[in-house]
Amino acid sequence: MSTASPLPGTSRTRSWWGWGYVDAHPDDAECLAMGALLPGTLARPLPIPRVADLDITRPAVTPPSALAHLVTADPEARAAHAMGKAYRDVARALRGRPGRIPDLVALPTCDQDVTDLLDWAGDHDVAVIPFGGGSSVVGGVEYRGDAHRAVLSLDLTSMDRVLEIDATSRSARIQAGALGPVLEQQLRPHGLTLRHFPQSFEFSTLGGWLATRAGGHYATVHTHIDDFVQSLRVITPAGTSTSWRLPASGAGPSPDRLFLGSEGTLGVITEAWMRLQQRPVHKASASVSFTDFSRALDAVRAIAQSDLAPANCRLLDPGEALLSGAASDGSSVLVLGFESATSRVDDRLASALDIARSHGGQGDDEERNSPAGAGGSAVSAWRSAFLRMPYIRDGLARVGAVVETFETAATWDTVPALIDAVRTEVGAAALKATGHPATVNCRLTHVYPDGAAPYFTVAVAGRPGDEVAVWDEIKAVATEVLHRHRATITHHHAVGRDHRPGYDLQRPAPFALALQAAKDALDPHHVLNPGVLIG
């Protein structure tokens, strides 16, 4: 068996310790060039970590023979399943101190396999960490502590098929282990698409998106994967939960909404009926620049409170705009995109541009008319930079930089003060922790009539050898600022283990009681993703 199944049409190798493909990693020279932008980074990149250097012990348990064919103790596989892909994970790998290596990795191929593995784990005190693409940036797929006898990483990526398509209802039954490109490839011949394109698209699965309530393609209206769920199939230690395929229902609290965002603590999502889209044929996009970020915020709010519903409505602050190549003159840049499978969208773009201009935005009419509606240079620059960003982060990590990205959401009355406070206080915390000046950039990724989701990137040269501690210090301040502004600890990255302190402050106490009770009922042996969300 193999845990490194290459994506369809590729034979590229995934990195066990860093983001994405090995061949896309910045080389040493690029790492140094990036580091030059951050005073205080290392003069020589840290070496690329090797599995052979890890202290990988013998598994503490042996699966029964009936399950042996599903399970491997291969060191490479175990190392690749030890952590997600947060900065914190990458930094630990670079310093030779990864998280606890799981004893075993399982690759179930059907629901019965999952049930059997959960039964065995429950009976033998084996913690089970559901694992999709492994792209968690919140410590969602590792084991911390030593309360269990052994740890099993449950890799769902062998369950990656589109099982059924209902073209009439524009929906499909899809196995949870399908990576983004794998499921889209199967939908394409039917002229349909899930159209969920998180930054991690290539390296994350449907099940991961569902379990973490991932943010997706649309900047407005249907911003989360939640909105596209028709029904879920979830294997819990207490039985299998299959909700009916329904376009909507008012029958009690939504069963699906309990499992959405449950991050593997209540059960293992193995498949879902998902609502699909037709591929858009009408597209129009443009960028608008603003000299004043606060007026740009007002413009975005006005667009969000209209009924124009842009598919893309990303506001980059001057630092983000500079980094992504969207602007280099200190402007903020609003990237707007409209799309439709059924009607022209030029008028909607024109209306949005009118709103932006009325708030001081400088629109670029030429871009708007660029071929195939691909948008202009700022739009393209932004998109390329977006996909490249995690690789750059890892390159910076190799020169000892500390990079933290976190996202949140808050109501509009709070957004400006929140952004100011993050810039000021998190910047100061980074300086205090390292003695080096930090960059703190912000963009709005998703917007709503009642608020917005700011996404922050903090970068600073770390204390050599102590990068994880620096990250923890910065994170604590960021968490405190979010809490003080009643801004959510996560809009779409999930809670995992890294966000638990913030989540515990945010979650209403009676809901915590209810969630713990649900957990106790569904996972009585407490083997599912221990330490995440609750308990």
| Angstrom distances, CA of residue 355 to CA of 296, 300, 416, 454 | 10, 9, 19, 21
Give the footprint of a second copy on residues 452-511 (CB under 8 A): 452-453, 486-495, 499, 503, 506-511
Q: What Rg value do the Cα atoms of the chain yield, rounded? A: 23
By DSSP bridging, strand 332-340 and strand 312-316 are antiparallel
Q: How many CB atoms lie within 10 A of CB 315?
A: 27
CB of 259 to a second copy, least distance (A): 7
Least Å distance, CB 154 to a second copy, is 18
User: Which residues contribute to the annotated binding site?
Assistant: 130-136, 263-269, 393
Distances (CA, A) of 112 to 118, 169, 464: 10, 28, 48
Q: Which two tokens stand for residue 279?
A: 């591929």
| Residue 220 in the binding site for a second copy (CB under 8 A) | no
In the complex, least distance from residue 502 CB atom to a second copy, rounded to whole angstroms: 8
Footprint on residues 257-286 left by a second copy (CB under 8 A): 257-263, 266-267, 275, 278
Q: Closer CB to a second copy, residue 224 or residue 436?
A: 224
Dig out the tokens for 407 from the structure: 């996202």
Helical pair 87-94 and 467-484, crossing angle rounded to 10 deg: 170
The nearest distance, CB 132 to a second copy, in angstroms, is 16
Stretch that binds a second copy, among 36-44, 250-258, 319-327, 393-401 (CB under 8 A): 250-258
Which among 74-82, 237-245, 377-385, 464-472 is the span making contact with a second copy, rule CB under 8 A?
Answer: 237-245
Residue stretches of the annotated binding site for substrate: 393
Using CB under 8 A, which of the segments 82-90, 228-236, 287-295, 429-437 binds a second copy?
A: 228-236
- Residues that bind a second copy (rule: CB under 8 A) add up to a total of 96
Least Å from the CB of residue 51 to a second copy? 32
| Positions 374 through 433 that interact with a second copy (CB under 8 A) | 409-413
Residue 87 falls in the annotated catalytic set: no
User: Judged by CB, which is closer to a second copy: 109, or 340?
Assistant: 340
> What interhelical angle do 427-434 and 467-484 show, nearest 10?
150
| Binding residue for a second copy, selected from 223, 285, 324, 380, defined by CB under 8 A | 223
DSSP 265-324: SS-EEEEEEEE-EEPP-EEEEEEEEES-HHHHHHHHHHHHTTT---SEEEEEPHHHHHHH
In this complex, which beta carbon is closest to a second copy, that of residue 134 or of residue 215?
Answer: 215
- Closer CB to a second copy, 327 or 415, in the complex: 415
Distance CA 51, CA 79 (A): 7
- Interface of this chain with a second copy, residues 131 to 170, rule: CB under 8 A: 166, 168-170
Write down the least CB distance from residue 191 to a second copy, Å: 12
Contact residues for 428 (Cβ-Cβ < 8 A; gap 6+): none
Please, what is the Cα angle at 218 between 215 and 220, to 5 degrees? Answer: 100
Q: Which of 143, 218, 391, 455 is catalytic?
A: 455
CB 140 within 8 A of CB 496: yes
Instruction: Please say which residue, 1 or 238, places its beta carbon nearer to a second copy.
Output: 238
3-state SS assignment for residue 86: coil
Which residues inside 301-360 make contact with a second copy, applying CB under 8 A?
301, 305-309, 340-343, 347, 351
Sign of CA dihedral 102, 103, 106, 112: negative
Give the catalytic positions in this structure. 455
